[in-house]
Structure 1
Amino acid sequence: MEVTRGQSPLVLGLPHTGTDVPPDVADGLNETGRELADTDWHIQALYAGLVGDASTVRTTIHRYVIDVNRDPEGASLYPGQNTTSLCPVTDFDGQPIWKEGAAPDAAEIARRREAYHAPYHAALAAELERVRDIHGFAVLYDCHSIRSEIPFLFDGTLPDFNVGTDEGRTCAPSIQDSVHRRCEAAKGYSAILNGRFKGGWTTRHYGRPGEGLHAIQMELAQCTYMHESPPWDYAPDRADRLRPHLKTILDDLIRWRPE
């Protein structure tokens, strides 16, 4: 677990950038699983240094071990649509990631939930409470990315900026409007609000505007800042073009105050 404490109201969540897989878990992954293809590659580097005084909470554990952005009870975020589970059994292309007989059973899922999922959310909840105690409110910006074309999960090509607020439930309207407006104004990029990605479990769980907790998810198409095939290299020219737009979004969130 990595936690950086700032004094502003803004907290960045980084649930899917980790690549750590404990040896006992790694032994069960098949060749497909060992590629760790569904990592939110380089997101911590993309956002690094964009704004000062924001808090960050990051888990180093890979989502194939357990996905900390899923309901700990295993409920689907998108009923009726293809997705991956709390402890995934397939990758985003629908291909098995475990050797035959090695997928985690209920007892193993419970162990991983206690060992990795719970500590991440304990740290995130504590940081949100800490900054809310300072300012009277907190803003969680959940940082994500995904390949722009994944037929198993969605049709066609994903927009560059995918803003999720669970149809406006997880944050004040002015936060949603500010972020979406900045995305739409970014020349050369496409954007959508509450499209295929409406905010994961983290956004939906913590987003309680009536209690001074505001949450919004940003799912970036990975083509905007990296190469979308192994070895998943960072593309500095693309990232340098994108980072000023992300900085503007985060600057707005740091300055935001309840009306």
Structure 2
Amino acid sequence: MLDQRDAADHCLSMATPIPTSFATEAGQRPEPGRRVVRIGRPPENLARPLILASPHSGRDYDDELSRSTRLPVEFLRRSEDAYVDQLIDFAPEYGAGFVCAEFPRVFVDVNRGPGELDPGMFADRVPDKEIAPSRRAASGLGVIPRIGAEGRTLYRRRLRFAEAKNLLARFYHPYHAALHDEVMRLRDRFGSVILVDMHSMPALSGRGADIVLGDRFGTSCREAVSDTVETLFQDLGFVTVRNNPYAGGFTTEHYGRPMEGVNVIQIEINRGLYMDENRVLLRPDHADFIAKMRRFVSELAGIDWVSRLQP
């Protein structure tokens, strides 16, 4: 997630083609038997140029990673965008694709650049070429986070850089290779594609909003996409704002190329709408909210985006 002050730091040229490095770097795959990315596709005859992604709702806390931290799993879970996958995993029923990270973002945050590392969290020297400094990494919230919820230190000891590289190879690169492949497959088929990057936000950070839309101040997607998404949510009774306090993170920055036919918008949902934040449990009435999300997804998928996104 990116706030307004950070947005200028990470903007990329809109003329730059979508990078393909994740597809080539992902030769190292996760160990057999452990699913890193969950992908859902609709039947070919129903397919729409639409993908919904959930990068932060993974909750597979494997033993090795859990032993490396000083914090219990019930506390680590407060860093999740908990249950966001359950708000959208029905997307293929309506013709939209679905991509979900299965691993916890508290260990690997795929909504960061691969070089957003804090050198201070490592026992050995990190090569300069491996680092892309950012405010997020400096604050402990880089691609390998140093801190979790409430700013509490995650690890029992300083890591070695080789451990970070291993985490990126096991989780980060496979996720982005999968997402890249899904985006390009639909872009090539339809001429354009919309990627909706789904997140949740603490109730207090929403500043009274139910939904915060991030389009990097109009640079990551066509205006028609932002306008349509906002209208659909407002018609469902939600209070929306754009780009404040979240303008979009690495995914919107890296993939958002509306001039190349790839439109990316980030959606932050107020957690208080469907869950108990402290206990990381769904509210008793969460089914009502999921019903509204079904309506949102069905209406978004029902739009003739091929015509609407014509140059």
Amino acid at match of 2:61: V
User: 1:125 is paired with a residue of what secondary structure?
Assistant: helix
1:201 is aligned to 250
Instruction: Sort the Cα spacing of 1:38 and 1:76 in 2 relative to 1 into closer, same or farther, 3 A.
Output: farther
**TM-score normalised by structure 1 residue count:** 0.87
Residues 188-220 of structure 1: CA deviation (Å, up to 9, x unaligned): x32110111111101111110011011001110
8 Å contact 2:87–2:293 — kept in the other structure? no
Confirm whether residue 69 of structure 1 aligns to residue 111 of structure 2: yes
8 Å contact 2:58–2:104 — kept in the other structure? yes
8 Å contact 2:61–2:104 — kept in the other structure? yes
Counterparts of 1:1-12 in structure 2 under 5 Å? Answer: 1-6=37-42, 7-12=47-52
CA RMSD of aligned residues (A): 2.4
1:184 is aligned to 234
The one of the two structures with greater contact order (alpha-carbon pairs below 8 A, sep at least 6) is: 2
Give distance in 1, aligned partners of 2:194 and 2:269.
Answer: 19
Residues 139-198 of structure 1: CA deviation (Å, up to 9, x unaligned): 10111112212xxxx5x74521010011111101100111123333442x3211011111
Confirm whether residue 89 of structure 1 aligns to residue 146 of structure 2: yes
Structure 1 residue runs of 5 or longer lacking an equivalent are: none
Counterparts of 1:55-204 in structure 2 under 5 Å? Answer: 55-74=97-116, 75=132, 84-99=141-156, 101=157, 103-149=158-204, 154=205, 157=207, 159-187=209-237, 189-204=238-253
- The count of aligned residue pairs is 250
Instruction: Sort the Cα spacing of 1:9 and 1:67 in 2 relative to 1 into closer, same or farther, 3 A.
Output: same
How far apart are 1:77 and its partner, in Å?
6.4
Confirm whether residue 25 of structure 1 aligns to residue 81 of structure 2: no
8 Å contact 2:61–2:73 — kept in the other structure? no
Amino acid at match of 2:104: H
Give distance in 2, aligned partners of 1:236 and 1:106.
Answer: 43
User: 2:108 is paired with a residue of what secondary structure?
Assistant: coil
Give distance in 2, aligned partners of 1:168 and 1:145.
Answer: 21
How far apart are 1:113 and its partner, in Å?
1.0
8 Å contact 1:83–1:92 — kept in the other structure? no
Larger radius of gyration: 2
8 Å contact 2:187–2:193 — kept in the other structure? yes
Instruction: Sort the Cα spacing of 1:54 and 1:77 in 2 relative to 1 into closer, same or farther, 3 A.
Output: farther
More helix by share: 2
**TM-score normalised by structure 2 residue count:** 0.73
8 Å contact 2:89–2:98 — kept in the other structure? no
8 Å contact 2:52–2:198 — kept in the other structure? yes
Amino acid at match of 1:69: N
